[in-house]
Chains A and B, each alone.
Chain A
Amino acid sequence: MRALLRRFRYHIAVFFSVIGPGFITAMVDNDAGGIFTYSQAGAKYGYLPLWTLLPITLLLIVTQEMCSRMGAVTGKGLSDLIREEFGLRTTFFMMAALLLANLTNVMANFAGIAGSLGLFGISRYLSVPIGGIAVWFLVVKGTYERVEKAFLFATSFYIAYIVSGILVRPDWKEAAIYSVRPVLLFDPGYIAMLIGMVGTSVAPWMQFYLQAAVVEKGVTEKEYAESRIEVIVGCVVMTVIAFFIIVACAGAIGSVQPRDIQSPADAAAALRPFGEYAFLLFAAGLFNASLFAACILPLSTAYTVCEGLGFESGVNRRFREAPIFYWLFTGLIVVGGGVVLLPNFPLVPMILLSQVINGVLLPVILIFMVTLVNNKRLMKEWTNSRSYNAVAWVAVVMLVGLTAALVAITIKDLVGR
Chain B
Amino acid sequence: MAENILFLTELLGLRVFDLKQRLLGRVKDLALVPLIDPVRIDRFLIGGAGYTWLTVRYDQVKRITLDGIYLRDEQLTPYHSDEYMLRVVRDLLDQQIIDAQGRKVVRVTDITFERREDRDSEVLWVLEVDIGLRSVFRRLFQGVAPVKWIRRIQTRIAPNSIRWEFCNILEADPQRRLRLNISNNLLEKMHPADLADIVEELSPEDREAIFATMDNELAAEALSEVDPDIQASILESLETEKAADILEEMSPDEAADVLAELEEETSEEILEEMDTEPKTEVRELLEYAEDTAGGMMTTEFVSLHANALVGDAVEGIRGNEELIESLNSLFLVDEDERLVAAVPVARLFLAQPGQPLRDLATGNLQQVTVDESQDRVTELFDKYNLLVLPVVDEDGRLSGVVTADDIISVLRQR
A74 interface residue (CB < 8 Å to B):
yes
Q: Which of A65-101 contact B (CB under 8 A)?
A: 74-76, 80, 83-84, 87-89, 92
Instruction: Give which listed residue, B95, B131, B230, B263, contacts A218 with CB less than 8 A.
Output: B230
- A88-B136, A89-B140 known; A83-B107 Cβ under 8 A: yes
Q: Determine the distance from Cα of A88 to Cα of B131 in the docked complex, in whole angstroms.
A: 12
Interface string of B121-146 (1 = CB under 8 A from A): 00000000001110010011000000
Interface centre among A92, A217, A309 (most CB of B within 10 A): A309
Q: Determine the distance from Cα of A10 to Cα of B267 in the docked complex, in whole angstroms.
A: 14
Cβ contact within 8 Å between B95 and A84 = yes
Task: Give the interface segment out of B62-70, B198-206, B276-284, B331-339.
Answer: B198-206
Instruction: Give which listed residue, A74, A222, A309, contacts B203 with CB less than 8 A.
Output: A74
Q: Determine the distance from Cα of A95 to Cα of B190 in the docked complex, in whole angstroms.
A: 34
Cβ contact within 8 Å between A310 and B136 = yes
Instruction: Give which listed residue, B95, B136, B233, B236, contacts A92 with CB less than 8 A.
Output: B136
Cβ contact within 8 Å between B139 and A76 = no
**Number of residues of chain B lying within 8 A (CB) of chain A:** 26
Distance in Å: Cβ of A416 to nearest Cβ of chain B: 36
Cβ contact within 8 Å between B136 and A309 = yes
Chain B residues within 8 Å of A217, by CB: 229
Cβ contact within 8 Å between B205 and A75 = yes
- The residue of chain A having its C-beta at the shortest distance from the C-beta of B131 within the complex is A310
B298 interface residue (CB < 8 Å to A):
no
B106 interface residue (CB < 8 Å to A):
yes
Give the interface residue-count category, chain A. 20 to 34
Cβ contact within 8 Å between A311 and B132 = yes
Would you call the interface of chain A mostly helix, strand, loop, or mixed?
Answer: helix
Cβ contact within 8 Å between B202 and A75 = yes
- The residue of chain A having its C-beta at the shortest distance from the C-beta of B264 within the complex is A6
A220 interface residue (CB < 8 Å to B):
yes
- The residue of chain B having its C-beta at the shortest distance from the C-beta of A145 within the complex is B413
Cβ contact within 8 Å between A218 and B229 = yes
A192 interface residue (CB < 8 Å to B):
no
A17 interface residue (CB < 8 Å to B):
yes
Interface centre among A10, A75, A80 (most CB of B within 10 A): A75
A269 interface residue (CB < 8 Å to B):
no
B74 interface residue (CB < 8 Å to A):
no
- The residue of chain B having its C-beta at the shortest distance from the C-beta of A82 within the complex is B94
Q: Determine the distance from Cα of A246 to Cα of B104 in the docked complex, in whole angstroms.
A: 48
Chain A residues within 8 Å of B207, by CB: 75
B217 interface residue (CB < 8 Å to A):
no
Q: Determine the distance from Cα of A6 to Cα of B263 in the docked complex, in whole angstroms.
A: 10
B227 interface residue (CB < 8 Å to A):
yes
Cβ contact within 8 Å between B140 and A92 = yes
Distance in Å: Cβ of A17 to nearest Cβ of chain B: 7
- A17-B229, A75-B202, A75-B205 known; A88-B140 Cβ under 8 A: yes
A312 interface residue (CB < 8 Å to B):
yes
Chain B residues within 8 Å of A10, by CB: 263-264
Q: 24 A-B pairs, CB-CB below 8 angstroms? A: A10-B263, A10-B264, A75-B204, A75-B207, A80-B96, A80-B107, A83-B94, A83-B107, A87-B94, A88-B140, A89-B140, A92-B136, A217-B229, A218-B227, A218-B229, A218-B230, A220-B204, A221-B204, A222-B236, A309-B136, A310-B108, A310-B132, A310-B136, A311-B132
A interface, CB within 8 angstroms of B: 6, 10, 17, 74-76, 80, 83-84, 87-89, 92, 217-218, 220-222, 309-312, 324
